[in-house]
Structure 1
Amino acid sequence: MVYELGWNWDEFHLLAQGSLAGHLLECGCQLTGGYFMHPGDKYRDICLSDLLDLSLPFAEVTSDGKVCVAKANGSGGVLNFSTCAEQLLYEVGDPSAYITPDVIIDFRDVSFKSLSDNKVLCAGAKPSVPPVPDKFLMLASKDLGWKGWGEISYGGYECVKRAKAAEFLVRSWMEEIYPGVNKHITSYIIGLDSLKAISSDKSSSFPEDIRLRVDGLFEQEEQAIQFTKEFTALYTNGPAGGGGISTGHKKEIILEKGLVGREHVHWHVAAQQNEVMQSDDQTTGLSDLTQTHAENASVSPSFQMNTTTNSCTKYSLPAVEASPAPSGQKIPLYNVAHSRAGDKGNDAHLSIIPHFLPDVERLKMIITPQWVKEVVSDLLIPSSLPNPDEIERTKKWVDEHVTLEIYEVRGIHSLNVVIRNILDGGVNSSRRIDRHGKTLSDLLLCQQVVLPP
């Protein structure tokens, strides 16, 4: 944009608007309805057929910094206030100081206005103070040990008890060989508690099949290998009816962050033209490809999805369609807001965007650091069958190491929640099934809340 539109590197208001366009486009179809559809939520219940025809978004940027994001006319998906708001807050941390190499941006007063079903006007990005970072981010790899993991399935009567018995046995076998090693192991039962996405006061139904997952992050490779052997022993020495065992181990590394002074970073741009290879027969292979495709189509069964259970909703701005959420009664947060979660290192970032925008004032009274910490603290319990001491140690660790920041974003009447040190080390080293913490949005949204009047 600096080159095409004739901007200068010190025109920070223009750079802020240009960076807003880039940030909104960064995740592709997430802006046009991808990763947004949610059956049962009348504001997000997109037709399944529409998801088959998502359009990549594009931006129209003028020389004076006016920004519109758009999608192809007639394409599926949806581009509106809600999709733009989710993408605006995606992994930004403090919205008053979103750091990029060229400009630090203040997103707090960004607003969105739908010009049509396929185009949204985006305004309000401005430079922070100071407008330019004096340090750049540097990432360095570091050995973190060896990962070992195992999975096994149980089904039918008392399947959960058998999975918990299997976990107990694997932990005990490992402890016999490597005393104290259990502090490196975490476990969860897929289908029961692997994501913790259940309200604290909502009872779960009896599961018909579950899958135990146990992960260890060890200091030595031999410990990881031994772990996989002990887990495989469940086939002969474990509870009845376990099947589908899979195990593995690998070397783990993490990326540690550091800062480098701007004056020590030098860059240049270069272009080189390569010789283009041309075939003597430029049509070679096209007829064969067409014939092969036709043959495959004749022998492959057609796939049709039943979309009758998925209703279609015509989208417009939530402020137009929505009404205030009821007060004085327990309702799931799903009924009040929508959310998207992202990650930066060991930190989780979650947006809270009310369906009825003025409800943000009441949400601010509910979504407090202490409330969020209580909701997410169970994620760090290392076992599906914790004893009271483990629970107490986890609560203490959470109190000492997990910190919360909640930011209000005025322009879109929303909240941005940053949870530090909650992702078990981050995506490269986490022992959880959801390494990125993507499902934390549903963990918050399924909580029962009572809104004040």
Structure 2
Amino acid sequence: MIKLAGAQGYYGDSHAPLADLLSEEPDFIVAEALAELTLAILQKDRQRDPSLGYTRDLPLYLKDIMPAILGGKTRFVTNAGGINPAGAAAAIENLAGRFGIGGVKIAIVTGDGFRHNYEELREATGGLAHIDTGEPCHIDEPSFATAYLGATAVAAALDAGAQIVITGRVADASLFLGPMIHAFGWASDDWDRLAAGVVIGHLCECSGQVAGGNFSGDWRSVPNPARYGFPIAEVDESGEAIITKPEASGGLVSFDTVKEQLLYEVGDPRQYISPDCVADFTAVELKADGANRVRVSGAKGSPATDQYKAIVCGHAGWSGEGRLAFAWPDALGKARRAAGVLLDRLEVLGGAEETCVEYFGASRGGRPGGVFGPATDAELDDMEKLPLSEQPNEVIARIAMRTDDEKLAGKFAREFAALGLSGPPAVFGTGRGGGGPSELLDIWPTLVPKSAIDPQVSVEVSTLGGNDSESSNPLLGAAPGVEFRRLDPPPAAEAVRPEGELRKVQLAEFAMARSGDKADLVNVALFAPDDAHYELIKSAVTAEVVKAHFGHLVLGRVTRYEVPNLKALNFLCEQALDGGAPKSIRADNLGKAMGAHLLSLEIEIPVRASSSS
């Protein structure tokens, strides 16, 4: 059995939980630092300074972990190298030099980037078609282009004795799978075990989310949330695992917290595609195994595909935005007047390609407004007409714009200050800090042949403070993978009205939900507490109903997948993020509130049905 600790879920995550994780003496500590938005942030860093492009909180993690590494108690794996793993390695060398540390073996995994041969690949693939729309890529001058590598290179680095492994864009779950392959010697075609490793990695890759963070169930019952609980996976050679957390930490690991994370950022649960295999999440079995312990088993896998997922990033203009808060009475009316003034001023300045106006604090009970999508003028009018005793104490107006003109974005952001003295009354601030222009980036998800990427992959192992260095490519001669064939989408279900006396309830009365983003997609997983309620949501919550509920937040297709092993429905919403997080000018550019938005949906259930979980 080995212990794997998930120490990071994103760039900027807290490293405070490391102390509790280290007290459990894990064999491997894995820090998953990258997301599509993170890569865009790192590219902006590298534009300012070519030595950057890695996550700059990496030294904080290593400072705490290094004593355990030096003592031979643990090994560290991370993709914090971002788009410049060599720069990350140099930062580690500097850190080691300052503290007089030497003799530690470090490996750098490179070769995921293909900006250098981007045009060649675009021509060879017929345009680097968009994964979801099939359209050819329109980005002519990419800021970066990177493929999601698998676990093989990580395992090879550990096989070579590396105590620290720094990678570029290795897929999240593959960072965890690599140590399992190394420890257990799993074969490259042992699809079920590889799928089990992908499931375990997927559960642990978002740090606290599997241990009570972002939990949509009884979140008030999560103990000691200030002492975040990060996950530990106790994995045996068969691929079965216990998901748990340090005993001294806060948080909660339960059947419900684990099932929510299992469907986070997932498309078709029957075919979760990783670089290493295709995993069937509908076969996974979860079972409580004591306090803060959940057993994970039953994963099924099929052969890896012959392509890597890849991301191409290009410039997409500039945004300018600001926020103004207004106090009761008539807070919404004041906010609307201020927004109108600012939009008029924008036209005087030259106009914009797109604007977004959101009012926070005006809506109630899950109705449209703010992050739940813009309310109509008629809905806003009705809110303004409420008696003063029923109006909100404050409303915040957020106005954002997109333009190709950086100077215009900056000018618009400066217009907000003028309304402090020249706008509606009872205006107040929302905190310090202000908005200059912010660059927007276009994220283009595509597929590239593994045969075009594998030959350039390198695992370089060296010793901190030494002059030795050895490079290899463990992917040369690897099996090419198979052509991927998507399963047919499930047949569209029609809403069925229950029989008998009915009452209307919001899903929030009994269900849980979690949403996640991938490029311009959002998946929203809806969980029922028992078989009876699962049958109710299967009958009432169809793809058509969900698309109508989200309104123009979701411009594309909605596909529903049934996940009976979790008593869940997974909705994949296309064209749901205004182009994707780094390009969107919405406040909720990651779609994190869309799960809560779905819980505001009203359905009819029999009067006899309990609405409690």
Q: Would the TM-score normalized by the shorter structure come out above 0.5?
A: yes
Whole-angstrom CA distance in 1 between matches of 2:374 and 2:408: 34
**Alignment partner, residue 408 of structure 2:** 223
CA contact (8 A) 2:410 2:437 kept: yes
After TM superposition, the structure 1 stretch with the greater mean CA deviation from structure 2, 228-237 or 418-427, is 228-237
**Alignment partner, residue 162 of structure 1:** 334
Match 2:462 to one of 248, 272, 287: 272
Q: Percent identity?
A: 29
Match 1:145 to one of 309, 317, 323: 317
- Match for 2:523: what amino acid? H
Deviations 1:2-41, CA, capped at 9 Å, x for gaps: 12102110111110111111111111221111221x6xx6
CA contact (8 A) 1:360 1:413 kept: yes
Match 1:261 to one of 449, 459, 462: 449
**Alignment partner, residue 576 of structure 2:** 422
After TM superposition, the structure 1 stretch with the greater mean CA deviation from structure 2, 415-424 or 57-66, is 57-66
Matched residue of 1:269: which SS? Answer: strand
Distance 1:327 1:99, change over 3 A: farther
**Alignment partner, residue 357 of structure 2:** 187
CA contact (8 A) 2:229 2:252 kept: no
Matched residue of 1:434: which SS? Answer: coil
**Alignment partner, residue 347 of structure 1:** 521
Whole-angstrom CA distance in 1 between matches of 2:547 and 2:557: 8
After TM superposition, the structure 1 stretch with the greater mean CA deviation from structure 2, 421-430 or 246-255, is 246-255
Match 1:11 to one of 187, 190, 207: 190
Match 2:305 to one of 127, 133, 137: 133
Whole-angstrom CA distance in 1 between matches of 2:507 and 2:188: 43
Matched residue of 1:4: which SS? Answer: helix
Deviation of 1:151 (Å): 1.4
**Alignment partner, residue 302 of structure 1:** none
Whole-angstrom CA distance in 2 between matches of 1:198 and 1:81: 35
- Match for 2:205: what amino acid? E
**Alignment partner, residue 363 of structure 1:** 537
Matched residue of 1:55: which SS? Answer: coil
Whole-angstrom CA distance in 2 between matches of 1:50 and 1:351: 26
**Alignment partner, residue 89 of structure 1:** 263
1:174 pairs with 2:364 = no
**Alignment partner, residue 214 of structure 2:** 35
Whole-angstrom CA distance in 2 between matches of 1:228 and 1:421: 27
Give the structure, 1 or 2, with the largest relative contact order (CA under 8 Å, sep 6 or more). 1
Matched residue of 1:349: which SS? Answer: strand
Whole-angstrom CA distance in 1 between matches of 2:374 and 2:442: 30
Distance 1:53 1:250, change over 3 A: closer
Deviations 1:248-285, CA, capped at 9 Å, x for gaps: 21222222222210111223433211129xxxxxxxxx
CA contact (8 A) 2:506 2:602 kept: yes
Match 2:398 to one of 213, 223, 238: 213
- Match for 1:209: what amino acid? E
User: How many positions carry a matched residue from both structures?
Assistant: 375
Whole-angstrom CA distance in 2 between matches of 1:34 and 1:176: 45
CA contact (8 A) 1:57 1:72 kept: yes
After superposition, residues 26-105 of structure 1 pair within 5 angstroms as 26-36=205-215, 43-47=218-222, 49-73=223-247, 75-105=249-279
Whole-angstrom CA distance in 1 between matches of 2:427 and 2:245: 49
Structure 1: tracts of 5 or more residues without a match? 277-325, 380-397
Distance 1:216 1:199, change over 3 A: closer
Matched residue of 1:339: which SS? Answer: strand
Deviation of 1:54 (Å): 3.9
Taking structure 1 as the reference length, the TM-score comes to 0.77
Distance 1:156 1:16, change over 3 A: same
- Match for 2:327: what amino acid? G
Distance 1:44 1:232, change over 3 A: closer
CA contact (8 A) 1:165 1:239 kept: yes
- Match for 2:370: what amino acid? S
Distance 1:74 1:172, change over 3 A: closer
Whole-angstrom CA distance in 2 between matches of 1:98 and 1:436: 20
Whole-angstrom CA distance in 2 between matches of 1:29 and 1:7: 28
Distance 1:327 1:264, change over 3 A: farther
CA contact (8 A) 1:7 1:14 kept: yes
Whole-angstrom CA distance in 1 between matches of 2:501 and 2:581: 38
Deviations 1:166-188, CA, capped at 9 Å, x for gaps: 1111112222342xx35511111
Whole-angstrom CA distance in 1 between matches of 2:282 and 2:375: 31
Structure 2: tracts of 5 or more residues without a match? 1-179, 363-368, 467-499
